Amino acid sequence: MGSQRGVTLLELLIAVSLVALLSTGMLFAMRTSVLTYEKTARRLEENRRVVGVERIIASQLGGAMAVASICPTPAGLPVSASFMAGTAGVLRLVSSYSIAEGARGYPQIVEYRVLPSDAGQVRLVASENLYSGPQSTLPYCAGTPPPDARVVVLADHLAYCRISYHEPYNISTFEETPWLIIWNRPVLPAAVRIEMRPAAPVAGAIAPLDITAPIRVTRDPLIPYVDRF
């Protein structure tokens, strides 16, 4: 009898099983690669956001303007004072830099607040509202931003966040001046520092760092500006 060529059922089952194993291994390898790519992309996006937030805060603090606010007194008479003021948890100022429009937009009334978050953590938020003159600062006389102000969360899940203010230098003595936790002077501070630490550091992620921004405006906001040129 002549020889017969073919494939037995057992050989066919073995071949199908090998193809299935190879396909499953390739599928798991592709799935692992996709998950790793998504995790890396998410981490890069978070790092870019941290760097962008630090740049925004430094630009807003560096763009502080010497403006005055008009707040009514119990007697009904308005009192003019420097608008820039703050504590360790709240800072308000008028800046030429906007989160939405950058340095090309209108001046904005900016208020930073350190608010409690979950599990004893804190977050740093910023609110913006258009500055159109001393009258636009009236809603802030009560200590709270107006309801139509844009609120943005700059940093979350922080162990602490503190704001301090550097007293202006005395040009006649050139002595070092201290950092203060409350600023209620009629002039602007020499610098503002925001200290932040994450509650749970993540490996490979950029942690929020301390931001120290010098303020180069030395003009008294209560003295009307006169162009002498």
* Residue 97: DSSP 8-state: -
Against a cut of 0.85, is the pTM above it? no
Tally of structural domains, the chain? 1
Q: Say if 48 falls within a structural domain.
A: yes
- Give the list of residues 6+ apart from residue 131 with CB closer than 8 angstroms, or none: 67, 94, 106, 107, 108, 109, 137
Tell me, what's the pLDDT at 87?
A: 93
Whole-number pLDDT of residue 76: 62
Place of tokens 């899940």: 157
Contact (CB, 8 A) for 148 and 187 = no
Residue 2: per-residue pLDDT? 58
**Which of 159, 101, 92 lies closest to 127 in space, CA to CA?**
92
Q: Which helix (H) or strand (E) holds 45?
A: helix 9-62
SS3 content of the chain, % helix, strand, coil (to 5): 30, 30, 40
State the residue range of the domain holding 91: 41-214
Alpha-carbon distance of 51 to 47, in angstroms, equals 6
Domain membership of residue 16 (yes or no) is no
Nearest residue to 144 (alpha-carbon basis) of 164, 127, 160, 124: 127
**Could you tell me which of 76, 77, 158 has the C-alpha nearest to residue 121?**
158
Assigned domain for 170 exists: yes
Instruction: Identify whether 88 is part of a domain.
Output: yes
Query: What are the strands, taking DSSP E only, across 73-206?
Result: 78-82, 85-86, 90-95, 108-116, 122-130, 150-166, 179-180, 191-198
CA distances to 8, 87, 107, 126, 189 from 185, in Å: 94, 12, 22, 22, 8
The pLDDT assigned to 92 comes to 93
Note whether residue 152 is domain-resident.
yes
Residue 103 lies in a domain: yes
What pLDDT, on a 0 to 100 scale, did the predictor assign at position 39?
Answer: 82
| Per-position pLDDT tens, the chain of length 229 | 556 666 778 888 888 888 888 998 898 888 888 888 888 788 788 878 888 888 999 999 999 998 888 887 776 666 778 889 999 999 999 999 988 888 888 899 999 999 998 888 999 999 999 998 888 888 888 777 777 778 889 988 899 999 999 998 877 777 788 999 999 888 899 999 999 988 887 776 777 778 999 998 888 787 776 666 5
DSSP code, position 143: T
pLDDT of residue 32: 86
The answer to the question of residue 221 being in a domain is: no
18 belongs to a structural domain: no
